[in-house]
Structure 1
Amino acid sequence: MKLLRSAAYGLILCTALAGPAQAMEPDAPEQLITRLDAVGVEVQKKLTAHFAANSETEYQKIDHGALVEFYSDDANKPIWVTKTGLTERAKAALKELG
């Protein structure tokens, strides 16, 4: 009886001391995207949705297609924003537009 009680206490103690299992997503990326990358993805999605929804002239389609293509390339980063917010050029453009 004493052996059974000791085994039960041992099992309870092991269960209490065991931490939660750490699961890892299979094929998880090595690094998550940065905030700047997330901005680029969001800009691309909004540009694509906006241009697809509006009827455009041929010139606008070419111009808008170039914007979408620019932001879809991973090597190209947003030119109006940085990790800290708007660039000086963006602020100047907003001020000019008034």
Structure 2
Amino acid sequence: MPALKNKLGIDSRYRSCHTAVSAEGYVFEGHVPAKYIRQFLKEKPQDAIGLVVPGMPAGSPGMEIGADFSPYQVLLLTRDGQSRVYATVQTYESQF
């Protein structure tokens, strides 16, 4: 997987346990909420390669642990290897 993630342009600091590639070639790494994937695919931000949620934040989709929740950021990755905050998820409910 590391070789594939390198090829896709996902630097090690942005990696998580899941990697998906859309039909258009956009990358989605980690526990990115579906609502942000849909939004991203509608917007198709210029110079973006995709969205990532580094690590495995408690309470993110697929990482539910009882009532535990840690706010986290969804990052937009750009072709030059940089990132910027695409969304900040403050509550469990807001990610749906």
TM-score under structure 1 normalisation? 0.24
Please state which structure has a larger fraction of its residues in strand: 2
Please state which structure has a larger fraction of its residues in helix: 1
TM-score under structure 2 normalisation? 0.24
Higher Cα radius of gyration: 1
